[in-house]
Structure 1
Amino acid sequence: MALVEIADLKVAFDGVQVLHGINLKIEKGEAVGLVGESGCGKSVTWLAALGLLPKKATISGSVMIDDANLVGAPQRKLESVRGSRIAMIFQDPSSSLNPVIRVGKQIEEAVKLHRGISGAAARKEALRLLELVGIPDAARRLDNFPHEFSGGQNQRLMIAMALAGEPDLLIADEPTTALDATIQAQVLDLLARIRQETGMAIVFISHDLGAVSQICERVCVMYAGRMIEKSSTEALFAQPRHPYTRGLFDAIPRIDGGRERLIPIEGTVPEPGKLPKGCAFSPRCNRAENRCKSDLPPLTGNQDDRYVACFRPVEIRDTVIPAAPVVPAVFTTPAPATQQQVLS
């Protein structure tokens, strides 16, 4: 049984559809990457799953955990899941940390809320969490304020708070985007290490395919509120099948070869409510044919557990992705001990 199973999840704001039936399973202990340009629906998927969207949002479908559907669930049920079963960290820690409360107190509050620990025991646990995420001189820094930490350290603080409830699943929403390459590598290594030590599953939301390749066994590509490709990380990097996924790879700068001109994907993600007929990517696709502009391609799979929503997927002979990694050598995260590649 999957840890979390999302089925036919749809979201609309004031009648404008932004998610068009998302299906995704997260198995215990696995790491799944969710990639795509801004506006594709990556973050909205999990905000909807956790009941964190504004009241004007209309949500349908199901998000199952422990045989309970979180869509439409009472607030008390959602609060029992947030933090203790599913925790979420966001791209900008400065907007999530209270600037006038010492970080130790903020972590102690999370420990008390999710695990019922208070007083000296809560402070001891807060210290353990700071040490776990690699904050130097943790005992002294418990009494510091967020502005006394660097950007990378603030992100580590957010990870510590997310771990306070000992969740089964951590949603990491663009946790490294605002960090330089060295600090980004450290945060990725930290997430991989914590996953190995705790058995926690991770959903890693990112624009950065290189970062995703470091900690995820499985990758799901989203475009205009739909899943358009699902695959193991290894297979996706060896041969992206959807033209959009191929375009994402073509736009990645490389450091292991000669200088080459990057190939951008022309155009932008269409606005919700203004999607073209047929495949939403067809106006930007150099492989589009007539039916792509009239019919919606379904997400279909094969015996290799690869799923793609395209009438003309990229074939092996068309793929020229180099075998060398597309990420800087500074990323040295070891492969997780538990590797599951079960596709929904």
Structure 2
Amino acid sequence: MSFVSLRDLRVSFDGVPVLHGIDLDIAKGEAVGLVGESGCGKSVTWLAALGLLPGKARVSGSVRLEGEELIGAPRPAVEKVRGARIAMIFQDPSSSLNPVHRVGRQIGESLRLHRGLRGAAAREEAIRLMDMVGIPAARTRIDLYPHEFSGGQCQRIMIAMALAGQPDLLIADEPTTALDATIQAQILDLLASLRRQTGMAMVFISHDLGAVSAVCDRAAVMYAGRIVERGDVSALFAAPQHPYTHGLFAAIPEIDADRRRLQPIEGTVPDPKHLPPGCAFAPRCPRATGFCREHLPDLKPQAAGGEVACFYPVSLTQPHREKALA
């Protein structure tokens, strides 16, 4: 049985569907990447799963944690899971940390809520967590405010807060987007190291294919509120089969190549209020036919491995994988 299982997860805002039946399984200790452009539904999937969407959102389907249903569960039951068994970190630590409270107090609050630690015990554990995530001189800096740390250090503090509840699953929602390239690499190394140390599972939400390849075992590609391709990272990166995944790889610049025009995916993600009747990617897809524009493909297993929601899947060659990993 999967540790976390999503089945037919759907979300709508003011009657407009934005998530169209997500099925996803996470095993214990596994790292799964969610990839796609902004607006594809990556973050909404897990905000819905954890009950963090605003009241106007309508959520249906099933989210089970070791068989325990979270959708529609009483608020106290969900709160016992959120932050304790499943924790989430966000892409902008400056908006997640409270600027008027010292970081030690903020980590201590998580320790009090999820592990019942108070006083000196909470302080020592907060220092230990800051050390674990690589904050230098943690013992002397625990009483500083967020603005006294760099952006990368603030993200490390957010990770420490997430680890305070000793979660079984960490949701990392684009945790490196607001950081420069060097700090991004450090945070990715930190997440991989923490996963090895703690044995926790991880969902890594990102539009950065290289980052996903660095920390994930499997990946799912999302488009317009649906998963359009998923499989093992190595196989998916070696030979992606959905035209959208194909386009994502083709758009990656090659540092050592001649000066040539990039190959962007023309157009934009469709407005959820005006989705095309068939495949949502058809208006942007160079392989689309009239059949694609009228019928919606299901996510189905492929002979080459993985699952793809496309009537005319394609494949890429090894060099594209090397581009993403560069």
TM range (shorter): over 0.9
Partner of residue 207, structure 1? 207
In structure 2, give the amino acid aligned to 1:100: V
* Separation of aligned partners in 2, 1:327 and 1:281: 22
2:227 maps to 227
Paired residue for 2:153?
A: 153
How many residue pairs match? The answer is 326
Give the structure 2 partner of residue 35 of structure 1: 35
Structure 1 residue 60 corresponds to structure 2 residue 65: no
Query: Deviation digits for residues 221-267 of structure 1, max 9, x if unmatched?
Result: 00000000001111111111000000001111122433332100000
Shift of 1:325: 2.5
In structure 1, the partner of 2:272 is: 272
2:322 corresponds to which of 321, 325, 333: 325
Aligned-partner Cα distance in 2 for 1:320–1:246: 10
Residue-by-residue CA offset, 1:155-182 (whole Å, 9 max, x unaligned): 0000000000000000000100111110
Map Cα deviations across residues 43-73 of structure 1 (whole Å, 9 max, x no partner). 0000000000111111110000132111111
Question: 2:114 corresponds to which residue?
Answer: 114
Closer/same/farther in 2, CA of residues 309 and 323 from structure 1, 3 Å limit: closer
Alignment partner of 1:292 is 2:292? yes
Q: Distance in 1 between matches of 2:255 and 2:12?
A: 41
* 1:321 Cα deviation after fit: 4.8
Which ranges of structure 2 fall in alignment gaps of 5 or more residues? none
The residue that corresponds to 1:75 in the other structure is: 75
1:138 maps to 2:135: no
Matches of 1:305 and 1:140, distance apart in 2: 52
Contact 1:231 1:305 in 2 (8 A): yes
Judged with a 3 Å threshold, the aligned counterparts in structure 2 of structure 1 residues 291 and 3 are, in CA distance, closer, same or farther, namely same
Rounded to whole Å, the distance in 1 between the matches of 2:114 and 2:303 is 42
What amino acid is aligned across from residue 43 of structure 1 in structure 2?
A: S
Q: How does 1:236-255 map to 2 (within 5 A)?
A: 236-255=236-255
Q: Deviations 1:10-40 (Å, cap 9, x if unpaired)?
A: 0011110000000000000010000000110
Q: Deviations over 1:278-324 (max 9, x none)?
A: 00000000000111000000100035540000000004xxx245166
- Equivalent position of 1:338 in the other structure: none
Tell me which residue corresponds to 1:337. none
> Which one-letter code corresponds to 2:137 in the other structure?
D
Amino acid at match of 1:117: L
Tell me how far apart the structure 2 counterparts of residues 250 and 324 of structure 1 sit (CA, whole Å).
10
In terms of fraction of residues, the more helix-rich structure is: 2
Q: Secondary structure at the match of 2:72?
A: coil
Report the CA distance shift for 1:328/1:31 in structure 2 as closer, same or farther (over 3 A).
Answer: closer
Tell me the TM-score normalized by structure 2.
Answer: 0.98
Percent of counterpart pairs with the same letter? 67
Q: Is the 8 A contact 1:10 1:19 kept in 2?
A: yes
Whether the 8 Å CA contact 1:255–1:328 is kept in 2: the answer is no
Q: TM-score, normalised by structure 1?
A: 0.92
> Please, what is the CA RMSD of the aligned residues?
1.2
Q: Distance in 2 between matches of 1:321 and 1:303?
A: 18
Following superposition, which runs of at least 4 residues in structure 1 exceed 6 angstroms of deviation? none
